């Protein structure tokens, strides 16, 4: 009797306390005579069941079973117990469901989380191993800066609004998950690659629009990576050996993240950008990891180098100053340009150390040239993370105390994007540096966030016109024998008007101008004939070592 009855209760009760049911009904059957003799007093039964069920209170928080006084046959008693156990089991199942929901759903957005996406994706690939499945990974740029500047409430509202926008982009069979603080993944239903690319454009366009919260309007941009199941990309890249290999969802997720990492944070004028994973990206990631391990060593072991690109007076053609640019003398890869390692240093939070090494090196170089009777100005680039550090001004003060150079020979160079990320702190820091006599240069002017309001707001001594406006300078007067030449000439006239307008405005505001990216004679001639400003570019010289820079200064005397 105990076996079948206990088995039936097992199907009703939760498996986590089924062993207690065995114990319970074993005792019940052995004491059937007790039930029959105490029909008017169920106290022994009550004590037995209360004790058994209360032992289970560690599993979940629920009240212990209470059975009260029951009269009747033993079968009636067991039937009532079954009903009681069923009710209790239903309660436990509802609580289990709530726990499952909490563990599988992102509480902020209501989207599924990374773990649940992994389960769904793995099942999809198991069910349709040859399907062209696409996974899109999206990262919102500037999220940390927004969180630091405006607080968690604005950042959380941004994520909620982003999730709503992304859901409106989805098809009925697509799956959206939040997989990180500022990261989402979209698992698209099997289809062709063209739809995946269209979805990428739609997603990036949706997050490109301003986000308006109760207290702020914020702008972010998306970095998006796409990965296809290997059956899809193997044919695209003609990698036949992979055609029959099953794709694991963990691989697909890794590949989409690798592709996403290849996309630099896009400026507003750069359009919508995404990358599609290909096998070569893995080797690039391996190289990046290797550089991450070595970059700290490079700072400690003095592997960094300062090179100097001349800044030339358009009226005299003489070198009057330099922009200091960092290089890394890698023991195996040779001399590396900043584009190859500064983004990695930024991810590791090391750019401020590189900035400080450059500031110290430049001050030492100014001291050396001062002893030679040479007094050029030198600008040093500052990263956003360094500009917002509270101890930057104190560090510069200590440098000037240690290296008594004229502060007017030193200037810091920042981009508009760096200032916009934390306007109040950036402006405060720049004003303090200016009060010490150090100049401030605004780099890449004319792109990104450029606004005339910023010229009033920001403490600026020098505007550096971005090279994108310089490339076509001097070509408006060329002989237009083809339609293409007419287009080039028209574009050149527009750029020339923009440059001359900026020069006129800067002159009225008593702000000096440096035109970047001068690489041809016609560009140089246009600047010489048009305005009184300064120029910088490979037409004059690439960034060079201090010894060669000193020769240029001596020739200019």
Residue 64 above 60 pLDDT?
A: no
3-state secondary structure of 442: strand
Q: Average pLDDT for residues 437-455, to the nearest whole number?
A: 77
pLDDT digits over 342-354, tens only? 988 888 888 999 9
Provide the pLDDT for residue 557.
83
Percent of the chain topping pLDDT 90: 38
| Residue bearing the bigger pLDDT, 422 or 208 | 208
Report pLDDT for 451. Answer: 59
Residue 449, both tokens: 């966030």
At residue 231, the pLDDT reads 45
Specify the range with the lowest mean pLDDT, choosing from 72-76, 220-224, 275-279. Answer: 72-76
CB distance 392 to 351 below 8 Å = no
Per residue in 448-493, pLDDT (tens digit) is: 555 566 777 788 999 999 888 888 887 766 555 554 455 556 667 8
Task: Kindly list the domain boundaries of the chain, sorted by start residue.
Answer: 2-104, 114-278, 288-467+542-556
Q: For 272-289, what is the mean pLDDT?
A: 80
Among candidate residues 500, 505, 512, 395, the one with its CA nearest the CA of residue 442: 512
97 has pLDDT over 60: no
Q: Is the pLDDT of residue 95 over 50?
A: yes
Local confidence band at 150 (pLDDT 50, 70, 90 cut-offs): confident
More confident residue, 242 or 284: 284
Does residue 543 carry a pLDDT above 90?
yes
248-261: average pLDDT: 89
Which band of pLDDT confidence, cut at 50, 70 and 90, is reported for residue 23? very low
**Assigned token pair, 212:** 């308006």
Measure the CA angle with vertex 531, ends 322 and 466; round to 5°: 55
Predicted local distance difference test score (pLDDT) of residue 269 = 42
Q: Is the pTM of this model over 0.85?
A: no
Whole-number pLDDT of residue 455 = 76
Task: State which of 252-261, 402-411, 443-452 shows the largest mean pLDDT.
Answer: 402-411
Q: What confidence tens digit (pLDDT) does each residue in 304-351 have?
A: 999 999 999 999 999 999 999 999 999 888 999 998 899 888 888 889
Multiple choice CATH, 114-278, 3.40.50.150, 3.30.70.270, 3.40.630.10, 3.75.10.10: 3.30.70.270
Distance CA 237, CA 326 (A): 37
pLDDT in tens, 364-384: 999 999 999 999 999 999 998
User: pLDDT band at residue 232, thresholds of 50, 70 and 90?
Assistant: very low
Write the CA distances from 342 to 298, 327, 338, 408, 423, integer angstroms: 12, 10, 5, 27, 23
Q: Residue 36 has what pLDDT? A: 43
**How do residues 514-532 score in pLDDT, each as one tens digit?**
999 999 999 999 999 887 7
Task: Write down the mean pLDDT value for the chain.
Answer: 78
Closest to 34 (Cα-Cα) out of 46, 21, 22: 46
pLDDT for the residue 21: 42
What is the pLDDT averaged over residues 33-57? 40
Higher pLDDT, 81 or 501: 501
Length of the chain counted residue by residue: 557
Predicted pLDDT at 84: 63
Q: What is the mean pLDDT of residues 492-517?
A: 89
**Nearest-angstrom CA–CA distance, 422 and 425:** 6
pLDDT of residue 479: 52
CA distances (Å), 28 to each of 7, 22, 376, 385, in order? 14, 10, 99, 72
- Per-residue pLDDT, 68: 43
How confident is the model at residue 279, as a pLDDT?
84
Asked whether residue 257 carries a pLDDT value surpassing 80, the answer given is: yes
Residue 440 has pLDDT above 90, yes or no: yes
Report the distance separating Cα 483 and Cα 506, nearest Å.
35
The angle subtended at Cα 162 by Cα 157 and Cα 164, nearest 5°, is: 95
Per-residue pLDDT at 471: 83
DSSP state of 88: H
pLDDT at 31 over 60: no
Three state DSSP letters for 159-222: HHHHHHHHHHHCCCCCEEEEEECCEEEEEECCCCHHHHHHHHHHHHHHHHCCEECCCCEECCCE
Say how many C-beta atoms besides its own lie within 10 A of residue 185's C-beta.
26
The half-sphere exposure of 345 on its side-chain side, counting CA atoms within 13 A, is 26
- Give the residue from 263, 169, 276, 177 showing the smallest Cα distance to 221: 263
Q: Which CATH class is domain 288-467+542-556?
A: alpha beta
In the block, tokens 């109760």 appear at: 214
Q: What is the 3-state secondary structure (H, E, C) of 23-79?
A: HHHHHHHHCHHHHHHCCCCCHHHHHHHHHHHHHHHHCCCCCCCCCCCCCCCHHHHHH
pLDDT band at 96 (very low <50, low <70, confident <90, very high): low
- In the prediction, which pLDDT does 196 show? 92
Provide, rounded to the nearest whole percent, the portion of the chain with pLDDT above 70: 72
pLDDT single digits (tens) 98-137: 555 557 889 899 999 998 999 899 888 888 877 788 999 9
Band (pLDDT 50/70/90 cuts) for residue 399 is: very high
Q: How confident is the model at residue 179 (pLDDT cuts 50, 70, 90)?
A: very high
| pLDDT value of position 396 | 96
Question: Where is pLDDT greater, at 283 or 186?
Answer: 186
**Residue 9 pLDDT:** 37
CA distance 554 to 544: 15
Quote the CA–CA distance of 49 and 214 in Å, as a whole number. Answer: 56
Distance from C-alpha of 98 to C-alpha of 115, rounded to nearest angstrom: 16
Phi, psi (degrees; rounded to nearest 5) at 494? -60, -45
DSSP 298-311: HHHTT-EEEEEEEE
* Segment 56-79 mean pLDDT: 45
Tokens of 397: 């003060």
């Amino acid at each position: 009797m105990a076996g079948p009855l206990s088995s039936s209760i097992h199907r009703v009760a939760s498996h986590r306390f089924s062993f207690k049911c065995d114990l319970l009904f074993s005792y019940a059957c052995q004491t059937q005579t007790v039930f029959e003799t105490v029909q008017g007093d169920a106290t022994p039964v009550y004590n037995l069941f209360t004790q058994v069920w209360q032992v289970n209170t560690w599993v979940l928080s629920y009240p212990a079973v209470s059975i009260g006084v029951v009269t009747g046959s033993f079968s009636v008693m067991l039937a009532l117990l079954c009903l009681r156990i069923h009710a209790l089991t239903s309660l436990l199942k509802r609580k289990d469901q709530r726990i499952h929901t909490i563990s599988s759903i992102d509480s902020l957005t209501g989207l599924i989380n990374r773990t649940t996406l992994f389960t769904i994706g793995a099942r999809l690939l198991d069910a349709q191993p040859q399907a062209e499945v696409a996974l899109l990974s999206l990262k919102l740029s500037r999220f940390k800066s927004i969180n630091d500047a405006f607080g968690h409430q604005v950042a959380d509202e941004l994520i909620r609004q982003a999730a709503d926008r992304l859901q409106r982009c989805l098809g009925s069979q697509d799956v959206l998950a939040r997989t990180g603080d500022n990261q989402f993944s979209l698992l698209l239903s099997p289809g062709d690659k063209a739809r995946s690319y269209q979805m990428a454009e739609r997603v990036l366009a949706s997050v490109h629009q301003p986000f308006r919260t109760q207290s702020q309007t914020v702008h972010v941009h998306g970095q998006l990576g796409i990965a296809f199941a290997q059956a899809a990309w193997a044919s695209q890249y003609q990698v036949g050996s992979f055609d029959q290999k099953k794709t694991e969802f963990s691989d697909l997720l890794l590949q989409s993240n690798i592709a996403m990492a290849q996309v630099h944070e896009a400026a507003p004028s750069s359009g919508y950008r995404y990358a599609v994973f290909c096998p070569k990206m893995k080797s690039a990631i391996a190289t990046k990891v290797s550089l991450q391990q070595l970059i700290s060593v490079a700072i400690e072991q003095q592997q960094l180098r300062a090179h100097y690109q001349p800044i030339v007076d358009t009226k005299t053609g003489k070198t009057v100053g330099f922009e200091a640019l960092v290089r890394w003398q890698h023991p195996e890869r040779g001399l590396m340009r900043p584009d190859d390692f500064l983004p990695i240093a930024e991810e590791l939070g090391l750019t401020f150390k590189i900035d400080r090494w450059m500031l110290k090196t430049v001050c030492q170089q100014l001291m050396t040239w001062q002893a030679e009777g040479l007094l050029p100005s030198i600008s040093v680039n500052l990263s956003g993370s360094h500009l917002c550090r509270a101890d930057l001004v104190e560090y510069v003060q200590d440098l000037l105390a240690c290296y008594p150079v004229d502060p007017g020979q030193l200037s810091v160079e920042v981009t508009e994007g760096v200032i916009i990320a934390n306007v109040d702190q950036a402006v405060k820091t720049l004003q303090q540096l200016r009060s010490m006599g150090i100049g401030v240069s605004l780099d890449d002017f004319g792109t990104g966030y450029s606004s005339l309001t910023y010229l009033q707001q920001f403490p600026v001594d020098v505007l550096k016109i971005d090279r994108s406006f310089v490339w076509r300078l001097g070509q408006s007067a060329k002989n237009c024998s083809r339609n293409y030449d007419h287009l080039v000439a028209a574009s050149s006239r527009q750029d020339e008007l923009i440059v001359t307008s900026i020069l006129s405005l800067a002159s009225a505001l008593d702000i000096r101008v440096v035109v970047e990216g001068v690489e041809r004679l016609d560009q140089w001639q246009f600047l010489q004939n048009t305005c009184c400003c300064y120029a910088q570019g490979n037409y004059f010289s690439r960034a060079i070592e201090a010894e060669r820079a000193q020769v240029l200064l001596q020739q200019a005397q």
